[in-house]
Homo-oligomer: A and B are copies of this chain.
Amino acid sequence: MAMIGGGRDAFIGAIHRIAINMDGQIDIVAGALSVNPEVAIASGHDLFLDEERIYTDYKTMLEKEAAMSKDKRIDFVSIVTPNFVHFDPAIMALEKGFHVAIEKPMTFTLDEAKKLKAKVDETGLTLLLTHTYTGYPIIKQAKQMVKSGMFGKIRKIYVEYPQGWLSTFLEGSNNKQAAWRTDPKRSGIAGAMGDIGTHAFNMAEYVSGLQVTHLCANLNTVVDVRMLDDDGATFMKFNNGATGVLMATQIAAGEENCVKVRVYGEKGGLEWKQEDANTLLVRWLDKPTEIYRAGTGYVSSYASHNSRTPAGHPEGYLEAFANLYRNFTLTVRAKMNGEKPKDEWLDFPGVDDGIRGMAFIENVVASGKSDKKWTDFVV
């Protein structure tokens, strides 16, 4: 496969590579790793790429790789650039016949997202959207338990993603990560809501199996000179009548990345937080709370398929990330071999999640600006 973006001075590219490498099933053989040619070349050397497959722009790469023989050319690309450079390379890669892995949010606008879906549908290729948190084995367990109906009808969903790293005007002090994420030209119309709110939103819909139908949002720019929201919350109505609250902030000083999701049904509910990523608390109306743990013998096939170690050896964010790539490549390989992928493999975020995510961004920003309490969630 090949990587677009993710050179020396990037953050998420290195994370993708660890996830890609982990299981020894994927080789990074090409890359257009930076818009800066010098960085692109030096980064290619870092990855021990063959000289001729270190590219300085992704268009050339996609052209040249597409022209190679089938056994040599790449199978898929990973797009790990800032948000505004997601759509074009994704479309081109699909057109050239390559599967695509892409960082979230999927595109710059909802409109792009829809076009991308059309292209995916047209080509029959596979798209992975790296909503990492759905890759945790015990989150798979959570989803299966809700799906089984054991909690009865779902009634209430709380999701939150508190961070503190943007408590100060970090983008003013040469922090590259802060700079593009707070810049509407590169990040899009949302700040915190796009960067982490989308993760929380995705978790809410993924674990509950429900879809949001209405929003009532309050978005804030707490650090005055900042150009985008750095804090917010939204009420949600779901398509089964359940309601929920989503909170995402980047100015909760001292908070790290403790994404948390709670879902309550008629008979019980569950709670998960990233800080204790291998544990799922399962609550019941009338019996003791249970602690489900990743890697045990009693979890579902979806959870065990996504574990690499026995219970008690913590598996973390990078393993969750690697699960996305593993399921994506298992699926792609099965399709390439004309086999039917297992249900467990197919359970990775894709283009439909990307559309939901972009719709969340546009709808939550619109709701934030509205004086009306509730606004429809329009896709």
A residues sitting closer than 8 Å to B (CB atoms) are: 14-15, 17-18, 21-24, 28, 47-48, 151, 155-156, 158, 160, 163-165, 167-168, 216, 218, 220, 222, 231, 233, 235, 243, 245, 247, 249, 251-258, 262, 264-269, 274-278, 281-293, 295-298, 308-319, 370-374
Q: If A233-B235, A253-B151, A254-B289 touch, does A245 touch B247 (CB 8 Å cutoff)? A: yes
Residues of B within 8 A of A310 (CB): 165, 256-257
The 29 sampled A-B contact pairs (Cβ below 8 Å) are A21-B21, A21-B24, A22-B22, A22-B318, A24-B28, A156-B251, A164-B283, A164-B285, A168-B266, A168-B285, A216-B218, A218-B235, A218-B243, A231-B243, A254-B264, A255-B269, A255-B312, A256-B311, A257-B311, A274-B314, A286-B298, A288-B291, A288-B293, A288-B298, A289-B290, A314-B314, A315-B318, A371-B373, A372-B373
Contact between A265 and B253 (Cβ–Cβ < 8 Å)? yes
**Is the beta-carbon distance between B253 and A268 smaller than 8 angstroms?**
yes
Given A155-B222, A290-B290, does the pair A253, B231 have CB atoms closer than 8 Å? no
Say which residue of B165, B243, B269, B374 sits within 8 Å of A254 (CB atoms): B269
Report the minimum CB–CB distance from A35 to chain B (whole Å). Answer: 22
Closest to A313 in B: B317
A252 to chain B, nearest CB (A): 5
- Which residues of the partner chain B approach A252 to less than 8 Å between Cβ atoms? 156, 262, 264, 269
Kindly provide the distance from the CB of A314 to the nearest chain B CB, expressed in whole angstroms: 4
> What residue in chain B is nearest A276 (Cβ atoms)?
B276
List B contacts of A243 (CB < 8 A): 218, 220, 231
